[in-house]
Structure 1
Amino acid sequence: MKQLTFLFFSATLLLALSKLVFAESAMQSYNLEQAIDLALANNPELSIMQARIEQADAQLGQAMASFYPQLKTSLSYQYSNNPAQAFAMLIAERRLNFAGTNFNQPGFIEDYRPQVSASYALFRGGQDYYQSQAAKLGVEVSEYEKSATRNRLLSNVTAAYYGELAAIDAHKISQRAIEAVQSELDQSRVRFDAGTVLKSDVLSLEVQLAEAKEQDIQAANVIEMAQNMLKTLLGLSINEVFAINETQVSALPAAPAGFDDLLNEALSHHPELKAAENRVAIAEKQLAAAQAAYLPRADAFVNYGSDSKNLTYNSNRDNVSAGVIVELDLFTGFSTQEKIKKAEHELTAAQETARQTRLRIENQLKSAQLRLQEALNRVQVSAVAVQSAQEALRLVNEQRQAGVVTVTRYLEAEVARDRANTRQISSRYDALRAEAELKQAIGFWQ
């Protein structure tokens, strides 16, 4: 009996511990660094960009195949009583008999020819070279595009993370406001019953409480929306459990450097700009390849095979052919000219795209610099405003308790305090988000 009791107690304890561990794992919270690591490992967009890099590698390998000899095998079969073809097949099969052959009526002749052929492009006007160079640049473009996607992802995850923290803090302020107004309303109702407070004061507090609850509902909805956005960036479904670390404290960023210094840093290694410049180089290589079509082409070939009336192999019937073919297109229906025109227009478009990319980067960089500096200035101003609003509320509350001021004045001080706190929270997280935006605009995220 004691053993059964001990076993039951042990099983109950283990079950409770397992539930506790499961609950703790389910409620695991992520700090910003952990959220970024999860996004880098799980976001589908990065997987797409990696697939594009591998696709570009495959295209490079396809372009480099032109520099290797081409080898193929074939088997042909002929059955004919055409005198010329039959005579040729008899000679190829090494069984021509002048004494017993009627060359005008040879009858039906069968010929099997297994063959191995090898060819090598000696010269194609540089087309293969230019196409291979364009393919190499295409791999670099794919890598730059993945780097740019990574920068955007890190910036968006950071902005969404701080956005949710800002929403959580705003929600806490709204809840504190509800508690404060509810407490004041309860006291005012007691005073109203005692005849020391007007009915209008009670009604004003009820209106204020309703407004505070409405703001609380909106703040809770903002938290949900911010978390859903963050889950999407992390590659998680909406129904998956995810929570951020609400206690994480991030230091304010430093003031941004001068615009010229930031611009020089961005132009030196911004992945989007590097990708645009590489696209210009690709268009130049493709234009050169199109122009090379006017030059002659030379190919060497070797064929080895045997002819027989059946598939039996005999070394006495094998033969080898080798040679060089030189071709030059005299007229292609203007297709070569149109390909060159197309390549020229593609080069112009790539050049203008690179110029547009640089202008966009300059604008993003300047905007991010100004937003960061503005947010830092707002942090300083809002800190002073919060202190003043808290002190004003304290004084008004004392006057309210003494019956010197009306409830309207108290409500105004309460609203001013809440707004000051909200502005302080907003400015702080705006500065952190602006720092992430500035890193993305520079194109370099450590």
Structure 2
Amino acid sequence: MHLLRKYLIFLGAALSLNSGLLHAESYTLQKAVDYALQNNPDLQIMQERIGQAEAKLGQALAAFYPQIKTRLSYEHSDNPSRAFGMVISQRRLDFSIGDSGFNHPGGIDNYRPEVTASYSLFRGGQDYQLSKAAELGVEAASLNRDALRNRLIQAVHSAFYAYLAAIEAHKVTQRSITAVSSEFDQSRIRYDAGTTLKSDVLSLEVQLAQAQDDEIQAANAIELARTGLKMLLGLNAEQTLDIDATVDWQLPKQQATFTDLLNQALGQRPEIRAANKQLAIAQRRLSAAKGAHLPKADAYLSYGSDSKDLDFSTNRDNVTAGVMVEMDIFSGFSTQEKINNASHQLSEAEKAVTRTRLQIENEVKTAHLKLQEALARLNVTMASVAAAEEALRMVNEQRNAGTVTVTRYIEAEVARDRALSRNIAARFDALTAEALLNQAIGRWR
């Protein structure tokens, strides 16, 4: 028993370790995108909406099939004409009962088990138009899912880059703390030896506090970026998320013109295609609404049996078949109001197409300008970092030689850190702008 208990403890520890190793898997950008496409709740909701649209199509197509029902009815009457009809339907008419029997039949019971079938022959084209609208609805739902997929991939890219930028910024603050702490310790030693002013020590102490404050904010930015990325991936607060930041990122290049990008977007973006599908749906629904003014024709068939009890017999069965044509003459303006409603929906759909096109143009233009700006900033910040690093090196040598004050050293240190921060921001802004441009032209479908 003691050995069994030790074995179970060992097994539980091993399983716990394996579980921890599984959760510690690092996500590359592509892995993060793939995981989000499988587990993002919004995308799963869109998939369910496609299922709803397919179900609506099935409902619309049901109008082209016969409708079959079974029913059992019971009726009791002492009305002479009604009772006489029941007796005839039950095939038990007896003329020997005389006139008093016909005038005073008493209570008659009638049971009728029955199977009925009906089929719509014509409804002014309404069934056809509504079925085509339902088909377009499935296509529109699929396009809306593709649009969300496109936005989701862009959002994962942006959140991933934001996380990496926060990590890099955090490293800069840690390096700044290390450098300022070292100089602060040396300055205190020199101050104790009487070779440095107390004001220089206090200035370094202020700079160290500022660097520590920046480090706290940078560490918090990492957690905020991680939380946003976890939400996109469909991970809850208890699940871990480790990012593989070892990839050598290739910076984007701006080559295509705005006109070329816009033409790609209008040809690829699911939103414009979905808007056109909604326009076609509105046209179909308007045609269906107008079809209500036309006649409707239905065929029907009934097979059943009438009896005074529940005993079914083929000797008493009967069949009724026929065709019925009807046409609404006046429906209290209901039909016309439905047409008016469908007309307004069509007008709305037409304006939605225009709005969607304008939105796409604006998104492409914005993303194009942001990428241009980020690439230009990147060139500037790279030169700024090189200059700031060289300036700090020279000031540090002068500081060691005692030819500059600690204030000048602090200024050079701050300038170098700011240059690094701007360069990090510009680098990941360029990657984010590239992802935004890919989403704007519909590259991720």
Which TM-score band applies after superposition, normalised by the shorter structure?
A: over 0.9
For 2:363, give the aligned amino acid: Q
Unaligned 5+ runs, structure 2 = none
Q: Which residue of 2 aligns with 1:30?
A: 27
CA distance in 1, matches of 2:169, 2:63: 64
Q: Which residue of 2 aligns with 1:307?
A: 306
Of 32, 37, 40, the match for 2:37: 40
C-alpha displacement at 1:258, in angstroms? 0.9
CA distance in 1, matches of 2:122, 2:245: 67
Q: Could you say what secondary structure the match of 1:403 adopts?
A: coil
For 1:39, give the aligned amino acid: A
Unaligned 5+ runs, structure 1 = none
Of 67, 87, 110, the match for 1:70: 67
- The 8 Å contact of residues 133 and 285 in structure 1, kept in 2 or not, is answered as yes
1:414-429 alignment, distance < 5 Å: 414-429=413-428
For 1:99, give the aligned amino acid: S
Q: Could you say what secondary structure the match of 1:304 adopts?
A: strand
- The 8 Å contact of residues 23 and 239 in structure 2, kept in 1 or not, is answered as no
For 1:70, give the aligned amino acid: Q
For 2:139, give the aligned amino acid: E
For 1:375, give the aligned amino acid: A
Q: Which residue of 2 aligns with 1:59?
A: 56
Q: Which residue of 2 aligns with 1:138?
A: 137
- The 8 Å contact of residues 93 and 317 in structure 1, kept in 2 or not, is answered as yes
Q: Which residue of 1 aligns with 2:211?
A: 212
CA distance in 2, matches of 1:301, 1:26: 64
C-alpha displacement at 1:249, in angstroms? 2.5
Q: Which residue of 2 aligns with 1:401?
A: 400
Moved over 4 A (4+): 10-23
Q: Which residue of 2 aligns with 1:341?
A: 340
CA distance in 2, matches of 1:430, 1:235: 25
Q: Which residue of 2 aligns with 1:165?
A: 164
Distance 1:261 1:78, change over 3 A: same
After superposition, what is the alpha-carbon deviation per residue over 1:318-369, rounded to whole angstroms, capped at 9, x for unaligned? 1111111000000000001111111111111111111111101100011001
Q: Could you say what secondary structure the match of 1:77 adopts?
A: strand
Q: Which residue of 1 aligns with 2:254?
A: 255
Q: Is structure 2 residue 94 aligned with structure 1 residue 103? A: no
Q: Which residue of 2 aligns with 1:194?
A: 193
Q: Is structure 2 residue 44 aligned with structure 1 residue 79? A: no
Q: Could you say what secondary structure the match of 1:75 adopts?
A: strand
Q: Which residue of 1 aligns with 2:127?
A: 128
CA distance in 2, matches of 1:388, 1:20: 49
CA distance in 2, matches of 1:194, 1:28: 53
Distance 1:31 1:336, change over 3 A: same
- The 8 Å contact of residues 187 and 200 in structure 2, kept in 1 or not, is answered as yes
- The 8 Å contact of residues 256 and 372 in structure 1, kept in 2 or not, is answered as no
For 1:29, give the aligned amino acid: S
CA distance in 1, matches of 2:431, 2:76: 82
Q: Which residue of 1 aligns with 2:316?
A: 317
Q: Which residue of 1 aligns with 2:111?
A: 112
Q: Is structure 2 residue 291 aligned with structure 1 residue 292? A: yes
CA distance in 2, matches of 1:335, 1:436: 51
User: When the two structures are aligned, how many residues end up with a matched partner?
Assistant: 440
Q: Is structure 2 residue 435 aligned with structure 1 residue 443? A: no
For 1:364, give the aligned amino acid: E
CA distance in 2, matches of 1:412, 1:278: 61
- The 8 Å contact of residues 36 and 234 in structure 2, kept in 1 or not, is answered as yes
CA distance in 2, matches of 1:22, 1:325: 70
CA distance in 2, matches of 1:11, 1:281: 65
CA distance in 2, matches of 1:253, 1:78: 82
Q: Percent identity?
A: 57
For 1:234, give the aligned amino acid: L
CA distance in 2, matches of 1:58, 1:37: 28
Q: Which residue of 2 aligns with 1:329?
A: 328
- The 8 Å contact of residues 367 and 433 in structure 2, kept in 1 or not, is answered as yes
CA-based RMSD of the aligned residues comes to 2.0
For 1:100, give the aligned amino acid: I
Distance 1:306 1:45, change over 3 A: same
CA distance in 2, matches of 1:120, 1:72: 12
> How does the TM-score come out when normalised to structure 1?
0.95
CA distance in 2, matches of 1:17, 1:176: 38
CA distance in 1, matches of 2:129, 2:10: 73
Q: Is structure 2 residue 412 aligned with structure 1 residue 413? A: yes
> How does the TM-score come out when normalised to structure 2?
0.95
CA distance in 2, matches of 1:211, 1:103: 110
CA distance in 2, matches of 1:68, 1:18: 57
Q: Could you say what secondary structure the match of 2:253 adopts?
A: coil
Moved more, 258-267 or 168-177: 258-267
C-alpha displacement at 1:310, in angstroms? 1.3
C-alpha displacement at 1:12, in angstroms? 11
C-alpha displacement at 1:311, in angstroms? 1.6
- The 8 Å contact of residues 273 and 357 in structure 1, kept in 2 or not, is answered as yes
C-alpha displacement at 1:35, in angstroms? 0.9
